[in-house]
Chains A and B, each alone.
Chain A
């Protein structure tokens, strides 16, 4: 038997890219469960369509690019993008909205830039923004919390695919706040937006699990949440006090989902420890600015995309101090 002649290290750690992606998928389960509980089975239909279209799109483009299809599909990155997009889209959105989003996320935002590792934008957020700007009507019709749970999977499918079953929709709490139509019990829950507080808590749980597993570091999510809270404290909603304003923004909309599943996407975010803090904090500030003073009710996608572009720049100026060197390099 010929002896191997290879360079060190000869040992390799247990983590693989596929494992990282699988853990991320696992961590979305509590959030998805909360979404289903509050908005019904439409969420699952979204996820299924998104996953199917994304994987097909990824496979097709890899084939066109002459890359090994199986090798890249097995890294689960397309599935993660698909699930994150599916979570972000309104349940009971028409199927073609989801399909267009998935195609854009994989085909344009990811593969056109060179595939995994080369995309400057978070693919799910890029697709979300494209859909939001192109299809504002479909994209803002969120189901009313706890209004559609009785809908079975079949009804949900029918609603998504044919629009034959009308789902009960309503403005989201952030939207309601924006339009000044909020009322206690329907808009404001005990922590954040009515219903949304549970979704946020569930995503927080999943995120903490990933943090514990060491999939990402605390820097970006924590700094984003702190920045958002500080902004909400300094510039509270008129309808709420400072403390309530802080809680409302932390536990409404896509706050926790964004903090733990979107801005922690390693490919498109800053990578140095200090860089991640800057990256997260600026996203937090932008989210609040857009929510509070801007035209869009939720702002995570816009804030993330803006900072995605700034990530290489942030990295450049936040290099850690190398061991034994006097000052930090910049």
Chain B
């Protein structure tokens, strides 16, 4: 094959260490007793559990669903019973726990298949996409991007790139898959080409996997598909990065910001493609994967096909690991993998490798020395960044410069750190800076939002203030006018004395006698209601206009409410008792006393009542001073009367 290939920008050549795990064929892991299946194994929002504790589930049955393509469905990996749905430690670089469905297997491994789409080459795109989505297929090369989301691009795609580069040292999961199951991979290519409407497939495999290349080529010849081309690419890290492999195979750079689909190219990892194929042609959900176990502390390094949710410890034991020699456990490869310390974590869809090296094999990082600006990092960088400049900016916290130097184009491949002679953990600096910048941006947004809210509030308060001022002016004008009118009116005719009126009212009431008690109480209730309504209106207007009088008015309203309730509950007595009008009440009380027919109240009670009335009368007078100047006189005389009575009562009590 004389295909032109292009040079990767930068890159490093770490020792491959692939031979250890390729000596044995892919083995099967047993069915574990308990499987922990996290709801977020993919990039994107987690799925929601759709089973309940106690439910019996079948292998391949959906247990976590989602309504967006950005997320992925999750399925039971074997048949059994759901024993818990709770947060469990998660196999993730963050170390944060994830909501997981815990299944106790029944050992029967009973399948529940989706209907197979045997004639997929006749099926339409949406059907196929829907199936891939429902089968929970996500990028199995490590990133975990939902496959249906990637494949559902609205761009015109002419080329499918199959990623069989597997450039990370130690990992051989894809290599073994290609070697042992090449026919399935070719069918997967045809399926994805059909789905995307792509004309051709470029199948990139690194030249350190001759068996895989031979197997795929043999399958290709047998299948006789000229549109799929295997392209052998030189071994260099990170040739398996999606943008990097596209550069090597086509010479084109995926624009930044942008996606490969902007070039008419979609890339899928071989394991992902096979998972998509099995979901469609066989109806199998994505419930297992091939995982490499390697490193010097693994007695029998090999690849194992394992059910999702299987505890890592089971795999480690199956491969005869030597815990005493293990220095760290890396999920993924030595360049981009993350370490875990808990072997009870589950295998998830992206777990392509368990690397358990000894201390001699991958020594702990030595202390960092000074940066000598040698530029080896810049030579290694596959995206042509200037890692050492970024390092200085990162240390100085210069976020603007970092962004100006395109920090966010960094793919965190680790080539710079690998090549740094001073052992500076460069990638760590970039990760930290990226997080800081994202945080700062979030904070800025938040602050901006708060500022907008504050300004809106200020505007509203100002508007209210202006309205208040306007209302106050209007009220003042109205009051002035009323006072003038009142003055002219009083000049014209004699003022009716409210006290006299009250006495007359009281007299007429008394004349009505007890026979009219019921009628009277009804009148009383009606009156009270009217007054309460009036007081409430006053209170409301005081609240909007001027808050000074609110407490006083509020008290009045409360009192009236109480009186009204009493009047309603006890019509006859309250009609006399309730001090509707202090003047009237005083007169009534005086008359009652004079009549001497009722048992006199105890002097202390008398005094307390009088004091209360006096307070209320004073309050009313004060209020009247503001709002009813014409009635002020009446209130003042009422207060005086009450004061006299109180003094008399006190004197009496003193006897």
The answer on a CB contact under 8 Å between B372 and A10 is no
For residue A13, which residues in chain B have a CB less than 8 angstroms away from its CB? Answer: 12, 14, 418-421
A155 at the interface (CB under 8 A from B): no
Chain A, Cβ-Cβ closest to B330: A10
Interface of chain B residues 328 through 376 with chain A (CB within 8 A): 328-330, 332, 334-341, 355, 357, 362-365, 367, 369-376
For residue A116, which residues in chain B have a CB less than 8 angstroms away from its CB? Answer: 369-370, 372
For residue A315, which residues in chain B have a CB less than 8 angstroms away from its CB? Answer: 386, 389
Q: What are 15 A-B pairs at a CB distance below 8 A?
A: A3-B341, A4-B364, A5-B341, A6-B328, A6-B364, A8-B417, A11-B362, A77-B372, A116-B369, A266-B373, A271-B373, A271-B389, A272-B378, A320-B386, A323-B256
Interface of chain A residues 258 through 299 with chain B (CB within 8 A): 266-267, 271-273
Roughly how many angstroms separate A3 CA and B359 CA in the complex, as a whole number? 10
Roughly how many angstroms separate A77 CA and B371 CA in the complex, as a whole number? 12
Supposing A272-B386, A319-B386, A324-B254 touch, asked if A9 and B372 sit within 8 A by C-beta, the answer is no
Supposing A5-B339, A7-B338, A11-B418 touch, asked if A319 and B372 sit within 8 A by C-beta, the answer is no
The distance from the CB of B417 to the nearest CB of chain A, in whole angstroms, is 5
Q: Mark B235-264, 1 if CB is under 8 A from A, else 0.
A: 000000001000100000111101000000
The answer on a CB contact under 8 Å between B425 and A217 is no
- Where chain B touches its partner, the secondary structure class is loop
- Where chain A touches its partner, the secondary structure class is loop
Residue among B365, B373, B406 making CB contact with A322, cutoff 8 Å:
B406
The answer on a CB contact under 8 Å between A9 and B256 is no
| Besides the known contacts A3-B328, A13-B12, A273-B378, 14 further A-B residue pairs in the complex with CB atoms under 8 A apart | A3-B339, A6-B339, A8-B412, A8-B414, A16-B423, A17-B422, A115-B370, A216-B375, A217-B379, A266-B373, A266-B375, A271-B375, A322-B384, A324-B383
The answer on a CB contact under 8 Å between B427 and A9 is yes
Roughly how many angstroms separate A77 CA and B326 CA in the complex, as a whole number? 36
B568 at the interface (CB under 8 A from A): no
Total chain A interface residues with beta-carbon distance under 8 A:
44
Q: Mark A194-232, 1 if CB is under 8 A from B, else 0.
A: 000000000000000000001111000000000000000
The distance from the CB of A228 to the nearest CB of chain B, in whole angstroms, is 23
Residue with the greatest number of chain A CB neighbours at <10 A, chosen from B253, B330, B384:
B384
Supposing A9-B417, A322-B383, A325-B256 touch, asked if A17 and B326 sit within 8 A by C-beta, the answer is no
B327 at the interface (CB under 8 A from A): yes
B276 at the interface (CB under 8 A from A): no
The answer on a CB contact under 8 Å between B335 and A10 is yes
B199 at the interface (CB under 8 A from A): no
The distance from the CB of B355 to the nearest CB of chain A, in whole angstroms, is 8
A15 at the interface (CB under 8 A from B): yes
The distance from the CB of B196 to the nearest CB of chain A, in whole angstroms, is 22
Q: How many A-B residue pairs have CB under 8 A?
A: 166
Roughly how many angstroms separate A262 CA and B337 CA in the complex, as a whole number? 40
Chain A, Cβ-Cβ closest to B255: A324
Give the top 8 A-B pairs by smallest Cβ distance, nearest first. A324-B256, A9-B414, A323-B383, A117-B370, A4-B328, A11-B334, A10-B334, A266-B374
B551 at the interface (CB under 8 A from A): no
For residue B375, which residues in chain A have a CB less than 8 angstroms away from its CB? Answer: 216-217, 266, 271
Supposing A115-B370, A322-B256 touch, asked if A329 and B406 sit within 8 A by C-beta, the answer is yes
The distance from the CB of B409 to the nearest CB of chain A, in whole angstroms, is 5
For residue B418, which residues in chain A have a CB less than 8 angstroms away from its CB? Answer: 9, 11-13
For residue A271, which residues in chain B have a CB less than 8 angstroms away from its CB? Answer: 373, 375, 378, 386, 388-389
Supposing A3-B328, A17-B421 touch, asked if A117 and B372 sit within 8 A by C-beta, the answer is yes
